Amino acid sequence: MRRAIFHFPAACLFASLLSASVCAADKVVWDAELGWIDLSAKPAETAGARYRYARGLFVSGRYAAALEMFQNVCDRFPTSPEAGRAAFRVAELQLRLNRPRRALETTNGLLADLPKGIAREEVVALQLQIAEVISERTASLGAQTFSTIAESAQAPEPKFAARMGQGGALFRRGEFATAADAYKAAVTAWPEAPGAGDALYKAAISDLRACREGDGDDARLRESHDNFTAFGVRAPDDARAETAAETAAAIEAALAEKDLKRRQVYYGVTYHIEGNYKKAGKIFRKGAKRYVGEEVGGVAHYCRGESLFERGKHRATLDVLTGFLEGYPDSLNRRKAVNLLMKIAEGAMVEDKRRFALDVLETITVQDPTGPLADDAFMFIGRIQLARKKYAEASAAFRSVVDEYPRSEWAYAALYNAGLSELRGSEYSEDNERLLDESRRAFELYLAGQPNGAFAAEARRLLGECSERQADKLLEIAEFYRRQRKYKSAVVYVRLVLEEHPESAAVSAARRLLSEYGERENEKP
């Protein structure tokens, strides 16, 4: 509102007076309009001299004395050319000295009988400042003052500013319907005003609040919707444009719901958009419980989870959204719910809350296994389990990506990580031979598909590690049969080293053992 006021002459209070300066002795002062002013002697008994002296008093900071002198000019020389300007200065100083009601009375007198040399726009601009001060102290009186100014103003600019001020005062008092009407009147007074978009937005909010807290008048609710939409068209780059569009959509849903009790759920959505998550959460909790299985119940159930998320209650959000996904498999909000769960999981991983992150990710894989984030969830589960050294669980998660989502962007990375998990797990498992085989096969498949991939160099190194460990294992088995003097069996495993792991460090030992065992191959055990 203030921005609009500043378009008018004299809107910046005492703009001309502030352009003056005072000499060091505080006896002679400089004023841009009147030049040097001598305060060392009393002024002559003329209107001009006293007006000049009053200006000097103001410049020296003696506001009460300046006010008295300006008033003296008005009282003693009411027909002089200086009287009108002196009256205007009286009003300015009354406002400056924290007497806004008296300042308003003075300006009302000026408007009733406008002196020569005083522009009506100047007085109205000052009145708008006075009304703003009054409004900050007493909203009801401020609203009334702004309304009076708007009715008496002749130009569109002050009418617009006054209606905006009136709307703001009424809004603070909780009189939302009349506030909305004032904002709409502002747009009507000056449709092309720089602040017309702001007026539309505030009118829309006021109408919405009037409906939420009143009887739910459909006509007013429709006006709220239309003004939010109009605001988006008028100010598409405004930071509030997205909020306006979301609110308009929620109002559209509310209008489609004729049952006023069910409509409360959609009003809850508007509270949520405004950031009043606590108020919205109460509405959603009640709606989710009352309308189980209904479309409006699904909306309430999902939105309750979203409100909990915004309040930072992520574990409660998980519980609520899990129930929503189980209870409303066909809801249009399912995708949003899964996206929200993924956001929670990512935050938990950043904070190193692994157990909680796993709970959230597993919910995604169970409740939305065919969704676009299922492969991401399995991939993240695998990484967490690998970091926890839960190699079997990590391998299972990575293999789920490879087997169930072969076209996933994670497919090759999952294949590599599955091999890594199985290789590390083989160090602790009795089934290490199978794990080594699966690990080696995973690295081979990765390198076949991604010879220059991000993990290619490491895959080649780990493939060599697999080969070395498998070769050593084969030699251990060969030694087992040798101790039992089953040389034929021992030779079989030694030859496997030479055939399957020709690059391993065990080859030289295998050749030596093959020669030794071969000579005794026909011995009876």
3 state SS for 276-293: CHHHHHHHHHHHHHHCCC
Span 277-299, mean pLDDT? 96
pLDDT, tens digit, 9 for 90 and up, residues 400-453: 999 999 999 999 999 999 999 999 998 887 778 889 889 989 999 999 999 999
Residue 364's pLDDT is 98
Residue 17's pLDDT is 40
Residue 378's pLDDT is 98
Boundary-marking domain end, from 108, 137, 166: 137
Judge whether residue 524 has pLDDT over 60: no
DSSP label at 18? Answer: G
> Is residue 129 domain-resident?
yes
Residue 457's pLDDT is 95
> Is residue 30 domain-resident?
yes
DSSP label at 10? Answer: T
Residue 409 CA, chain-centre distance (Å), reads: 30
Judge whether residue 468 has pLDDT over 90: no
Span 371-399, mean pLDDT? 97
Given a contact cutoff of 8 angstroms between Cβ atoms, the answer to whether 408 and 414 are in contact is yes
44: which 2 tokens? 């002559």
Residue 18's pLDDT is 41
Angle between helices 314-327 and 334-350 (to 10 degrees): 150
Distances (CA, A) of 258 to 216, 261, 286, 301, 324: 10, 9, 18, 20, 24
Residue of 376, 362, 273, 287 whose CA lies nearest to 322: 362
> Is residue 121 domain-resident?
yes
Give CA torsion, residues 397, 399, 400, 401, to 10 deg: 100
pLDDT, tens digit, 9 for 90 and up, residues 175-204: 999 999 999 999 999 999 999 999 999 999
Mean pLDDT over each residue of the chain, to the nearest integer: 89
Boundary-marking domain end, from 120, 137, 154: 137
Distances (CA, A) of 318 to 313, 397, 471: 9, 21, 48
pLDDT, tens digit, 9 for 90 and up, residues 355-376: 999 999 999 999 999 999 999 9
Least confident of 39-48, 168-177, 197-206, 497-506: 497-506
How many separate helices (H) and strands (E) can be counted in the chain? 25, 3
311: which 2 tokens? 């309040």
Residue of 478, 475, 482, 411 whose CA lies nearest to 442: 411
In DSSP terms, 22 is beta-bridged to: 29
Judge whether residue 6 has pLDDT over 60: no
Residue 71's pLDDT is 96
Given a contact cutoff of 8 angstroms between Cβ atoms, the answer to whether 395 and 418 are in contact is yes
Judge whether residue 331 has pLDDT over 60: yes
Between 239 and 519, where is the model more confident? 239
What is the percent of the chain with per-residue pLDDT over 70, rounded to a whole number? 91
pLDDT, tens digit, 9 for 90 and up, residues 14-35: 444 444 444 444 588 888 888 8
Judge whether residue 8 has pLDDT over 50: no
Judge whether residue 2 has pLDDT over 60: no
21-22 and 35-38 strand pairing: unpaired
> Is residue 101 domain-resident?
yes
Task: Say how many CA atoms lie within 13 Å of 355 toward its Cβ.
Answer: 0
d(CA 70, CA 3) in angstroms, rounded, equals 29
> Is residue 348 domain-resident?
no
> Is residue 161 domain-resident?
no
Distances (CA, A) of 361 to 133, 206, 371, 486: 56, 42, 13, 52
Residue written as token pair 């929620």: 250
Residue 508's pLDDT is 66
d(CA 126, CA 164) in angstroms, rounded, equals 16
Residue of 78, 69, 75, 22 whose CA lies nearest to 43: 69
Residue 492's pLDDT is 77
Residue 431's pLDDT is 79
What residues have CB less than 8 Å from 359, skipping those under 6 apart?
318
440: which 2 tokens? 């080696």
111: which 2 tokens? 């408007």
Judge whether residue 13 has pLDDT over 50: no
Edge-first strand listing for the sheet containing 21-22: 21-22, 28-31, 35-38
DSSP secondary structure string for all residues of 261-275: HHHHHHHHHHHHHHT
> Is residue 114 domain-resident?
yes
Helix (H, G, I), strand (E, B), or coil: what is residue 235?
Answer: coil
Overall number of domains in the chain: 2
Judge whether residue 88 has pLDDT over 80: yes
Residue 11's pLDDT is 36
d(CA 285, CA 289) in angstroms, rounded, equals 6
Give CA torsion, residues 478, 483, 485, 487, to 10 deg: 10
DSSP secondary structure string for all residues of 329-354: TT-TTHHHHHHHHHHHHHHHHHTT-H
Between 519 and 131, where is the model more confident? 131
Residue of 269, 225, 217 whose CA lies nearest to 245: 225
pTM of structure: 0.77
pLDDT tier at 506, thresholds 50, 70, 90: low
Helix (H, G, I), strand (E, B), or coil: what is residue 214?
Answer: coil
CATH of the domain at 105: 1.25.40.10
Domain extent for 510: 474-525
Residue 24's pLDDT is 41
DSSP label at 174? Answer: T
184: which 2 tokens? 């709409």
Distances (CA, A) of 462 to 396, 412, 454, 459: 19, 15, 14, 5
Span 116-136, mean pLDDT? 94
Span 162-171, mean pLDDT? 97
Judge whether residue 236 has pLDDT over 50: yes
Residue 516's pLDDT is 67
Q: Buried b / exposed e across 263-277, counting CB within 10 Å, b at 16+?
A: bbbbbbbbbbbeeeb
Least confident of 17-26, 124-133, 244-253, 384-393: 17-26
Angle CA(34)–CA(36)–CA(42) in degrees, nearest 5?
95
Boundary-marking domain end, from 110, 137, 164: 137
d(CA 405, CA 98) in angstroms, rounded, equals 74
Residue of 105, 107, 136, 106 whose CA lies nearest to 121: 107
pLDDT tier at 1, thresholds 50, 70, 90: very low
Residue of 503, 496, 445 whose CA lies nearest to 473: 496
Between 239 and 24, where is the model more confident? 239
- Phi then psi for residue 186, to 5 deg, are -65, -45
Residue 484's pLDDT is 73
> Is residue 509 domain-resident?
yes
Given a contact cutoff of 8 angstroms between Cβ atoms, the answer to whether 367 and 340 are in contact is no
- Phi then psi for residue 25, to 5 deg, are -80, -5
Given a contact cutoff of 8 angstroms between Cβ atoms, the answer to whether 394 and 361 are in contact is no
